[in-house]
Amino acid sequence: MSQMISAVSPHFHHPRTTRSIMLDVIIALVPAMIASVLIFGLRSLMVIADCVAVCMLSEWVFEKLCKKENTLGDLSAVVTGIILALNLPVGVPLWQAALGSVIAIVVIKQLFGGIGQNFANPAATARIILMTAFSSSLTNWAVPQPFNFMPDATTGATPLALMTKGETESLPSYLDMFLGNTGGCLGETCALALILGGVYLLIRGVITWHTPVAFLGTVAVMSLVCGQDVLAQLLSGGLMIAAFFMATDYSSSPATKWGKIIFGVGCGLITILIRFWGNFPEGVSFSLLLMNILTPYIEKLTRKKPLIGEVDN
């Protein structure tokens, strides 16, 4: 008889793998990708394809050079590419998007040890670096114009910029903001698509409700306290995509239940601080980065006590 396999227990495993989780995230991002094409035109697809391709290529090249195992199969590079693209304006020069992708994968992910090891969210950090380096092209907001292949000529202000300037009377309607028919980055404007994707992730158990609810809840409450338009704050900027897809990144956010809540509340507070009192109209990426840095401490604080004595909840 052939040799018996003598593996260690357990001999059963849940079918979920890293790859299947990433596949779920990609599926959850499909509505937002479709929305980006409908809203900003087919060039959206070019930006997404650009980022995904460069992310995958840089991961492959890096791992080849470092003689590490090829991990393209886990699909995490694809997820990073899509999320980064959705965080860029449609008119972004493709080389800048490509540069952002290289930064996200090589500097932020791989140099820290690859999947699961990066302390910061690759897409959020790359967005910040690009914004700082190329502020003109990255804040050149296209107004929605479906089915246009070329970077457009007409640009306009995002709802957040309008609010920061106090021009609330020229804000788009709530419905337009909910459907994403406003200026902004590719994937951040359509709240409907993002919520759909977020709910899918919740149902699939890829994310839990703690982070998005804490994040969005804090922004809502603080907007109310500060006398701002709550709905407009919730529906504008990169809040929705961050709350569902970026603040829930496994590597750069706490794994504990209370940690996720603290992380979400922290993100919400910093977002509000920057939005209402800072120089940038948008504070979401910065809030993510700052909370990423605090993650190890939050985890330490919120780690469950092993069951040695009393049982509490």
CB of 291 to other proteins, least distance (A): 15
CB of 230 to other proteins, least distance (A): 31
Residue from 81, 89, 100, 114 binding other proteins (CB under 8 A): 114
Is the previous residue joined to 10 through a cis bond, with omega within 30 degrees of 0?
yes
C-alpha–C-alpha distance, residues 236 and 63, integer Å: 38
Does 34 participate in binding other proteins (rule CB under 8 A)? Answer: no
Does 7 participate in binding other proteins (rule CB under 8 A)? Answer: yes
Sole window of 14-22, 173-181, 232-240, 281-289 interacting with other proteins (rule: CB under 8 A): 14-22
- 27: enclosing H helix or E strand: helix 18-40
Does 67 participate in binding other proteins (rule CB under 8 A)? Answer: no
> What residues numbered 246-265 form the site for other proteins, per CB under 8 A?
250-251, 254-257
Could you tell me the two tokens for 129? 């670096």
Burial class (CB in 10 A: 0-12, 13-18, 19+), 67: exposed
Burial class (CB in 10 A: 0-12, 13-18, 19+), 170: exposed
Does 16 participate in binding other proteins (rule CB under 8 A)? Answer: yes
Sign of the torsion formed by the C-alpha atoms of 138, 144, 145 and 148 = positive
Q: Which residue carries 């599926």 as its tokens?
A: 27
Identify how many contiguous H helices and E strands the chain contains and give both numbers.
14, 0
Report the SS3 class of residue 237.
coil
224 vs 255 by CB, closer to other proteins: 255
Residue from 67, 132, 277, 309 binding other proteins (CB under 8 A): 309
Does 65 participate in binding other proteins (rule CB under 8 A)? Answer: no
Whether the CB-CB separation of 108 and 125 falls below 8 Å is answered with yes
Residue from 65, 166, 279, 311 binding other proteins (CB under 8 A): 311
Does 277 participate in binding other proteins (rule CB under 8 A)? Answer: no
Sole window of 52-60, 180-188, 265-273, 303-311 interacting with other proteins (rule: CB under 8 A): 303-311
The per-residue b/e assignment along 198-216, b for 16 or more CB within 10 angstroms, e otherwise, is bebbbeeebbeebbbebbb
Residue from 132, 136, 169, 306 binding other proteins (CB under 8 A): 306
CB of 16 to other proteins, least distance (A): 5
Total site size for other proteins, rule CB under 8 A:
41
Whether the CB-CB separation of 286 and 270 falls below 8 Å is answered with yes
Binding site for other proteins (CB under 8 A): 1-2, 4-14, 16-18, 20-21, 71, 74, 76, 114-117, 250-251, 254-257, 303-311, 313
